[in-house]
A and B are shown apart, each in its own frame.
Chain A
Amino acid sequence: MAMSAEKDLMLKAKHKTGLVFFPAFDWAISPTHPEREERLLYTQDQVLEEGLFDIDGILEFKPDLATVKDIQRVHFCVPDVWRVTTESHFISAGGAKTIGMAVLDKAVDKGFALVRPPGHHAMRVVHGARGFCNINIEAVMIEYLRRAYRVDRVAIVDTDCHHGDGTQDIYWHDPDTLFISIHQDGRTLYPGSGFTNEQGGPNALGTTVNIPLPPHTSAEGILYALKNAVLPILADFKPQIIINSAGQDNHYSDPITNMNFCAQGYAALTSLLQPDIAVLEGGYAIEGALPYVNVGIILAMAGIDYSKVREPDYDPQRLRQRSEVTRRIETVCETVRGLWDQREAKRLQALNEKTLDHRHRNIFYDTDMIHESQKEIVRVCGDCAGALRIDSSSSRGIRILAVHIPRKACAVCREAASQWYASADRGEFDHIFLQDRIRDVYEERK
Chain B
Amino acid sequence: MIIGLDVGGTHADVVLLGDSGLVREIKVPTDQENLFKTVLAGLEAIIAGIDPHQIRRIVLSTTLTTNAIAQKKLPPVGMIVSSGPGVDPDFYRTNLHYYAVAGSIDHRGREVAPISENEVQKVADGFKTEGIRNVGIVGKFSVRNPRHEIQIHRILKDHFERLFMGHQVSGNLNFSRRVATTYLNAAVYPIHRSFFDAVNKSLFQKGLDVPLYILKADGGTMNLEASMEFPGQTILSGPAASVMGAVGFAPIDTDAMVMDIGGTTTDMAIIRNRIPLLHPIGVRLGGFRTLIRSLETRSIGIGGDSSVTVSDGELIIGPEREGPAMAFGGSKPTPTDALLVLGEMTGGDREAAFRGMTAVAQDLGLSVEDAARRVIDHACHRILSEARELIDRINNRPVYTVQDLQQGDKVNPKVFLILGGPAPYFARRIESFSGCRAQLVPRWQVANAVGAALARTTCEVMVFADTQLGVIRAPEENYSEMVDQDFSGHDAIDLAYRLLKVKALQMGAPDEDLEMEVLEDLQFNMVRGFLTTGKNLRVKVQIKPGLISDYERWTAQIS
Contact = CB atoms under 8 A, between A and B. Distances in A.
Contacts of A312: 84-85, 104, 106, 112
A65 B402 CA distance: 11
Contacts of B174: 48-49, 51, 54
A61 interface: yes
A301 to B, nearest CB: 14
**Best-buried of B89, B396, B400, B532 by chain A (most CB within 10 Å):** B400
A7 B399 contact: no
A26 B401 contact: yes
Contact of A62 (B90, B141, B397, B536): B397
Contact of A36 (B89, B119, B525): B525
Interface string A283-302: 00001000110010001000
Nearest to A52: B87
B108 interface: yes
A282 interface: no
Interface in A1-26: 1-5, 7, 9, 11, 20-26
B167 interface: no
A60 interface: yes
B93 A49 contact: no
Nearest to B179: A51
**Secondary structure type dominating chain B contacts:** mixed
A85 to B, nearest CB: 12
Contacts of B530: 32-34
Chain A contact residues: over half helix, strand or loop, or mixed?
Answer: loop
A88 B87 CA distance: 31
A28 to B, nearest CB: 9
Interface string A69-96: 0000000000000000011100100000
Interface of A: 1-5, 7, 9, 11, 20-27, 31-34, 36-38, 41-42, 44-46, 48-52, 54, 60-63, 65, 86-88, 91, 255, 287, 291-292, 295, 299, 304-305, 307-312
A20 B107 CA distance: 21
A7 B141 contact: no
11 contacts: A5-B96, A24-B401, A34-B530, A42-B108, A49-B86, A50-B87, A51-B177, A62-B399, A87-B406, A292-B85, A307-B88
B48 interface: no
A48 B173 contact: yes
A7 B90 contact: yes
Contacts of A33: 527, 530
A305 to B, nearest CB: 6
Interface of B: 84-93, 96, 99-101, 104, 106-108, 112, 119, 122-123, 140-141, 173-177, 289, 396-403, 405-406, 522, 524-527, 529-532, 536
Contacts of B527: 31-34, 36, 38
Nearest to A91: B405
A407 B39 CA distance: 73
Given A38-B524, A305-B88, A308-B88, A62 B107 contact: no
B402 A1 contact: no
B168 to A, nearest CB: 17
Given A41-B524, A45-B107, A22 B175 contact: no
A289 to B, nearest CB: 12
A63 B405 contact: yes
B85 A37 contact: no
Nearest to A296: B86
A137 to B, nearest CB: 15
A310 B85 contact: yes
A201 B220 CA distance: 67
Contacts of A4: 90
Given A31-B525, A36-B525, A312-B104, A299 B87 contact: yes
Nearest to B90: A4
Given A51-B175, A292-B85, A308-B85, A46 B107 contact: yes
Given A32-B530, A48-B174, A291-B107, A309 B525 contact: no
A266 to B, nearest CB: 14
A32 B85 CA distance: 31
Given A3-B99, A23-B400, A32-B527, 6 more contacts: A2-B90, A11-B176, A33-B530, A38-B536, A62-B405, A308-B85
Contacts of B402: 24, 26-27, 86-88, 91
Give the one of B119, B174, B397 with max A CB within 10 A: B174
A41 B522 CA distance: 10
A233 to B, nearest CB: 33
B486 to A, nearest CB: 18
A25 B88 contact: no
A21 B96 contact: no
Contacts of B112: 312
Nearest to A40: B400
A2 B173 contact: no
B100 A2 contact: yes
Contacts of B86: 46, 49-50, 295, 308-309
Contacts of A5: 93, 96
A9 B93 contact: yes
A51 B405 contact: no
Contacts of A21: 398, 400
Contacts of A44: 400
Nearest to A87: B402
A305 B384 CA distance: 41
Given A22-B398, A38-B536, A9 B529 contact: no
A6 to B, nearest CB: 11
A60 B123 CA distance: 37
Contacts of B119: 1
B526 A38 contact: yes
A133 to B, nearest CB: 17
B494 to A, nearest CB: 22
Contacts of A311: 85
A380 B93 CA distance: 63
A311 B104 CA distance: 11
Q: Which of A37, A87, A255 has the most CB of B within 10 A?
A: A37
A42 B107 contact: yes
A303 to B, nearest CB: 13
A27 B403 CA distance: 10
A29 to B, nearest CB: 11
A89 B13 CA distance: 55
A195 B107 CA distance: 39
Nearest to B95: A5
